[in-house]
């Protein structure tokens, strides 16, 4: 059915973006074909170039979208906490959760896209998207850090982020082995020495998304 309405076409564009944001995180940019992405929106591959200039251009849009989702999620989480210490704690706790490690497609793109981004040339759209997205997340984290001044809070956020992202990356690469959970636990202990760890298997309903 060719020539759908403009409203429908816009919905299609959003579906392609949404599916790309998930599939690129799960399988990497080379691991997903244009036909896969269009198929995820119920379309055939030929129409792709009516929506995006190239696969690379879409990768930039998709990564930006994934980071926006993460920033919104982080802001939602810290909004419910009473003070900065609790806000930082909830971000750490969710980021290093087992569920976070498993659901790559909805997880933080700072980890799942880092390898792809590092290998792209400096001019690729995905690099700008990644840089801006990471900066946004770092600022959210810095806003809840303890510190004498803004510089100290930012430095704490950067070091914390390195630990969080590194732990998730290593845990995923060793998934299936005991070492995987060991890494997550060690990072959790390092970043949140005092309070309670994970809240237990959860009683009733929970949100589906993560870090």
Partner DNA sequence: TGTACATCAGTGAACGCGCGTTCACTGATGTAC
Summarize as ranges the residues that interact with its own copies (CB under 8 A). 26-28, 30-31, 104, 110-119, 122, 127, 130-131, 134-135, 138, 154-156, 158-159, 161-167, 169-170, 172-177, 179, 182-183, 185-187, 189-190
Q: How many Cβ atoms sit within 10 Å of the Cβ of residue 163?
A: 18
Nearer to DNA, 22 or 73 (CB): 22
Contact predicate 57/107, CB 8 Å: no
Interacting residues with DNA between 2 and 61 (CB under 7 A) = 2-9, 12, 32-36, 38, 43-51, 54-56
205 binds DNA (CB under 7 A): no
> Which of DNA, its own copies, none does residue 134 bind to, with CB < 5 to 8 Å depending on kind?
its own copies
Nearer to DNA, 8 or 72 (CB): 8
> Which of its own copies, DNA, none does residue 166 bind to, with CB < 5 to 8 Å depending on kind?
its own copies
Nearer to its own copies, 28 or 47 (CB): 28
Please count the residues of this chain forming the interface with DNA, following the rule CB under 7 A: 28
Nearer to its own copies, 40 or 114 (CB): 114
Q: How far is the CB of 75 from DNA (least distance, A)?
A: 32
Nearer to DNA, 65 or 94 (CB): 65
> Which of DNA, its own copies, none does residue 56 bind to, with CB < 5 to 8 Å depending on kind?
DNA
Cα–Cα nearest to 108, from 77, 79, 130: 130
- Which residue reads 């060793």 in tokens? 174
As a whole number of angstroms, the distance between CA 98 and CA 66 comes to 20
CA atoms within 13 A on the CB side of 30: 5
154 φ/ψ angles, rounded to the nearest 5 degrees: -65, -45
Q: How far is CA 65 from the centre of its chain?
A: 9
Residues in contact with DNA by CB under 7 A are 1-9, 12, 32-36, 38, 43-51, 54-56
């Amino acid at each position: 059915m060719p020539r759908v309405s403009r409203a429908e076409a816009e919905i299609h564009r959003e579906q392609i973006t949404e599916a790309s944001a998930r599939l690129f995180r799960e399988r990497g940019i080379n691991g997903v074909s244009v036909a896969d992405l269009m198929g995820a929106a119920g379309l055939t591959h030929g129409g792709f170039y009516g929506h995006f200039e190239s696969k690379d251009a879409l990768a930039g849009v998709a990564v930006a979208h994934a980071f926006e989702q993460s920033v919104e999620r982080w802001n939602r989480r810290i909004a419910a906490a009473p003070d900065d210490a609790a806000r930082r704690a909830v971000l750490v706790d969710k980021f290093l959760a087992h569920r976070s490690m498993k659901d790559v497609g909805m997880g933080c793109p700072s980890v799942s896209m880092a390898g792809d981004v590092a290998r792209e040339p400096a001019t690729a759209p995905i690099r700008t998207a990644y840089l801006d997205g990471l900066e946004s997340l770092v600022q959210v984290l810095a806003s809840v850090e303890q510190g004498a001044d803004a510089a100290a809070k930012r430095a704490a956020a950067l070091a914390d982020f390195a630990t969080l992202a590194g732990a998730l990356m290593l845990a995923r690469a060793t998934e299936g082995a005991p070492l995987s959970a060991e890494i997550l636990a060690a990072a959790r202990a390092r970043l949140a020495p005092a309070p309670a760890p994970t809240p237990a298997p959860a009683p009733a309903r929970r949100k589906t998304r993560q870090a």
